[in-house]
Chain A
Amino acid sequence: LAKTTQPISMDSYEGQEVNITCSHNNIATNDYITWYQQFPSQGPRFIIQGYKTKVTNEVASLFIPADRKSSTLSLPRVSLSDTAVYYCLVGDMIGGFKTIFGAGTRLFVKA
């Protein structure tokens, strides 16, 4: 399983765009990149997943460069309710049932 490295914490202000980068130098050919969000006292919630280039949904965008050794989660115009912990996971889609969550990035959005 590829190890991931993320910043421990980030601060932002309401209305700003936030970019959280995850490093995964040992990513394998079959690995996908997935991001989760966790609020206090709740289980994590899936945000977005990608394999290469750019993926966008109604919540976020995920940018993956050609070498796939890193990825960036982009949250447009954050609000106070985006204050949470964000986890980057890298996993094998083919038979990859074992999943490893790192420590995550604590995002604090200020008014």
Chain B
Amino acid sequence: NAGVTQTPKFQVLKTGQSMTLQCAQDMNHNSMYWYRQDPGMGLRLIYYSASEGTTDKGEVPNGYNVSRLNKREFSLRLESAAPSQTSVYFCASRDFGLSDYEQYFGPGTRLTVT
């Protein structure tokens, strides 16, 4: 049981390049999330998927797209990377249930855009 896995762990992009960050969970969770965390700051929600087949914008969706490929996988795409997108990206998943707010986080992807 690996929990939440993210690939790659590190990535350096040039301005204007595109890439997709991959996230997978093996806990059969319904909801999945993408956050970014800038140095010394808290996490900011980019997009989330309440259940398979649905996605919604979070606080900072501009410059990103997401795909909920199936129940296990939720990818984040940067179409044209900008230096302002240099950050650590965390994926998380959560089972939908009343009285249960626990999100499980992946190890993060450290992205640098030059």
Contacts and interface: CB of A to CB of B under 8 A. Distances in A.
A32 B101 contact: yes
B42 A102 contact: yes
B53 to A, nearest CB: 14
Contacts of B92: 43
B42 A43 contact: no
A97 B50 contact: yes
Interface residues of A, number: 26
B59 A100 contact: yes
Interface stretch (B11-19, B68-76, B77-85, B105-113): B105-113
A99 B103 contact: yes
A44 B43 contact: yes
Contact of B98 (A36, A45, A93): A93
B106 A43 contact: yes
Contact of B56 (A41, A45, A97, A103): A97
Contact of B41 (A42, A46, A89, A103): A103
A99 B108 contact: no
Nearest to B107: A43
A38 B67 CA distance: 27
A45 B43 CA distance: 13
Interface in B36-74: 41-45, 48, 50, 56, 58-59
Given A87-B42, A103-B42, A93 B105 contact: no
A32 B45 contact: no
12 contacts: A43-B108, A46-B101, A46-B102, A49-B99, A49-B100, A51-B99, A87-B43, A89-B101, A97-B50, A97-B56, A97-B94, A101-B44
Interface of B: 4, 31, 33, 35, 41-45, 48, 50, 56, 58-59, 90, 92, 94, 96, 98-108
